Chain A
Amino acid sequence: MLLINCPWCGERDETEFAYGGEAHIVRPLDPDALNDEQWADYLFNRSNPRGLHRERWMHAAGCRRWFNVERDTVTYKIKSVYKVGELPPGDAEVTSGEGEV
């Protein structure tokens, strides 16, 4: 069971959290400017990397705040935890799921 470091409450068991899928998916500001394929891409398509994955978690049985996690999908190791609206600590160049395996 993962031990997740909620940025508001500290380390808690995974069972207290809800998973929210891939992070940093931005809702298009003008949905009408997108064609159907682009809209479907926003709506349905998610990266499924082997390695580092940025994802959303919510402390459902605690502060109920959403935050972001960088987690390795192979080892399940959590690399970092950061708040909504922030970038992963010390990192701006990792853009896809290619990480350590």
Chain B
Amino acid sequence: MSILVNKSTKVLVQGFTGSQATLHSEQSINYGTNIIGGVTPGKGGTEHLGKPVFNSVAESMELQPNAALIFVPAAFCKDSILEAAEQGIPLIICITEGVPTMDMLVVKNKIDQLGITLIGPNCPGIITPDEAKLGIMPGDIHKKGRIGIISRSGTLTYEAVKQTTDLGLGQSSCVGIGGDPIPGSSFIDMLALFNDDPDTDAIIMVGEIGGNAEEEAAKYISNHVNKPVISYIAGQTAPSGKRMGHAGAIIAGGKGTAEDKMKTLQSAGVHVVDNLLEIGIRTQQVLD
């Protein structure tokens, strides 16, 4: 078991023939991911990476995709997500960075109404080691194992992955929920899935400054999660009022500091590390 994706996930890539989509789809296929085809309006009927290209998501439904992976430019993400949602694809992953917040406010409310899971935007995607890689993460640092990883940051996820791989723990699944103010899925959504996954023993949650997603997660953890949670929060040295790369990583009006988040998580029983290099070791200690 794992969460969200596995060997049998049938993946449709939107913006399939673009350069980023091509690079990463090829790597995903090499990893063993079941990419069944893609969509690029105007290029329907052709082949790309040995897979069929469709003009629309609707046309592709004959192949019954159950996950959509989106690489289209930021200006078109709202359209692509809603197009996949309209066709009832239950899992949508949007990698693109720079999607306007106003677009996400509409998208988020709509997909919630439809009961569809959206991961991202501005995220590395999701991987279940040795089964399926839907995103831009390097496949070879992963190892099949029993730790679930959730993170707002791409490269910090890789750090957590590398540490758990080096210690032999491995990962059940890893999800990058993205660094935007309005993400499709929250920490809570993913904590719930990992908590119910019989093949996950512990959960690593990598947060960062800005917003209150970590505080909300803390509350959820103390009430609903019965597996150990290990957490690191990036941005302990970040100044107030400055956007730290990610659109959502900003301390506004003194709210959303790493210190507050760490305290809140600690009091919810989460194992909080203040040094990112101790994520793996602490996880191992907690499990021993």
- A, B in one complex: no
Which A residues are closer than 8 A to B by beta carbons?
none
Which B residues are closer than 8 A to A by beta carbons?
none
